[in-house]
Amino acid sequence: MMDELLLSNDNKVIFLILDGLGDIPNPGFDLKTPLEAARKPNMDGLAAKRGVLGRIIPVGTGITPGSGPGHLSLFGYDPVTNEIGRGVLEVLGLNMDLRNGDLAARANFCTIREDVVTDRRAGRIPTEETERLCAMITASVKEVEGVEVIIKPGKSHRFAAIFRGAGLSDKLTDADPHKDNKPFAYTTAKAKGAELAARVVNDFIDRVRDLLKAEPVANGALLRGFSQKPDITPFTKKYRMKALAIATYPMYRGIAKVLGMDVKDEPGSYEEAVDILKKNYNDYQFFFFHVKETDVAGEDGNFEAKVKAIEDVDKFLPGISALDPQALIITGDHSTPCPLKGHSWHPVPLLIVTKTGETDGLTFHEKNCIVGSAGTIYSKELMSLALAHGGRLDKYGA
């Protein structure tokens, strides 16, 4: 039905996504959320004068989503039927050459003490350190059991890996305990035919551990999100809109590339990101603008840092809102509550800045979003609502 209702016009729709935006009452901070505590006059002004509020559920009630499913849902793709692995998103975000049959993985350097992962992020070592370590590994580990190994550094402690060879399967468990102070984990085959891939990955992990055994902090690697190149309907074809993604982190550029959005060079700052938006504004109808720092602060359990990240967005928000899009959506892909130090199942606050004249007259935070007129919807329904507010959906029926 959506195809029949789509209108072709030049109306603009902007998605400003604050990764991990949602939160819960924080003990020690008057039971406020960072969004509630933040001083954000621009965001609150838009909400009170031109905004309707609501909440989105990324995947399903009570389900804690990863960033991949969370973003797929935002763009109207059912994350259950359109599963894209984190590895694919990471390698594409780093502009690696992913081919059919390749096995992709997202990776972290980590700290291991007596076979226990004491820090999954190796103290968030600087990117320069990751570049040095990746160069060391590349020089020593070029193939495993005849399978070519290609790695590339990302930001901070992150890197990505491609395993290239015949007969590889992505039906693997994560080689990652997912929590600090847990035993080091290897991958295992989840289906028949994945045994070769499991052996190759585990051999690679062991060789990396041996290479890095003298390193004081980053002395191991964790691999997860094993996946292969998917077949998915491009965003432009699905919605008849030319789309541009602006993101500083590789994974989110990877998501955009999987969906067929255009991706410009990585901006060095959010001010530069806003400039990219402005320079390309006349050439596109849909814009995905991603902010990562809210999620990082939530995972660190750092309430003050998450507040600051939201306030920093508020400072550059006028540069976006001044473009006067038909619809400006401000939300997150999932919640990352500071008390939980990780992703959660909680609904995500939603603000739709619209030209319809509607407004709930409320400032933007979780408590107000509960009573907002947009209600609580599934994330995969958000695109329909955004298109409607954006004047890009026709009437259904006579």
pLDDT of residue 157: 96
pTM: 0.79
Question: Helix 127-140 vs helix 195-211: angle between axes, to the nearest 10 degrees?
Answer: 110
> CA distances (Å), 392 to each of 48, 61, 78, 153, 284, in order?
24, 29, 21, 40, 14
Instruction: Give me 154's structure tokens.
Output: 């990302």
Number of Cβ within a 10 Å radius of residue 386: 25
pLDDT of residue 181: 97
CA distance 188 to 169: 11
Strand partners of residue 144: 147
Strand partners of residue 395: none
DSSP assignment of 213-240 = TT-SS--EEEEEEEE-------HHHHHS
Determine contact, residues 42/353, Cβ cutoff 8 Å: no
- pLDDT tens across 313-347, in order? 999 999 999 999 999 999 999 999 999 999 999 99
Residue ranges for the chain with pLDDT beneath 70 = 1
Q: How many whole angstroms from its chain centre is CA 65?
A: 10
Determine contact, residues 272/319, Cβ cutoff 8 Å: no
Determine contact, residues 393/381, Cβ cutoff 8 Å: no
pLDDT of residue 68: 86
Mark 149-175 as b/e (b = at least 16 C-beta within 10 Å). bbbbbbbbbbbbbbbbbeebbbbbebb
pLDDT of residue 1: 56
Determine contact, residues 151/161, Cβ cutoff 8 Å: yes
Instruction: Give me 200's structure tokens.
Output: 């190759």
Q: What is the CA radius of gyration of the chain?
A: 21
Please give the backbone phi and psi of residue 390, each rounded to the nearest 5 degrees, phi first.
Answer: -85, 0
At the fourth CATH level, the homologous superfamily of domain 2-84+231-389 is Alkaline Phosphatase, subunit A (3.40.720.10)
Cβ-based neighbours of 125, under 8 Å, separated by 6 or more? 109, 156, 157, 217, 218
pLDDT of residue 156: 94
Strand partners of residue 164: 148
What ranges do the domains of the chain cover?
2-84+231-389, 95-227
Instruction: Give me 206's structure tokens.
Output: 């062991």
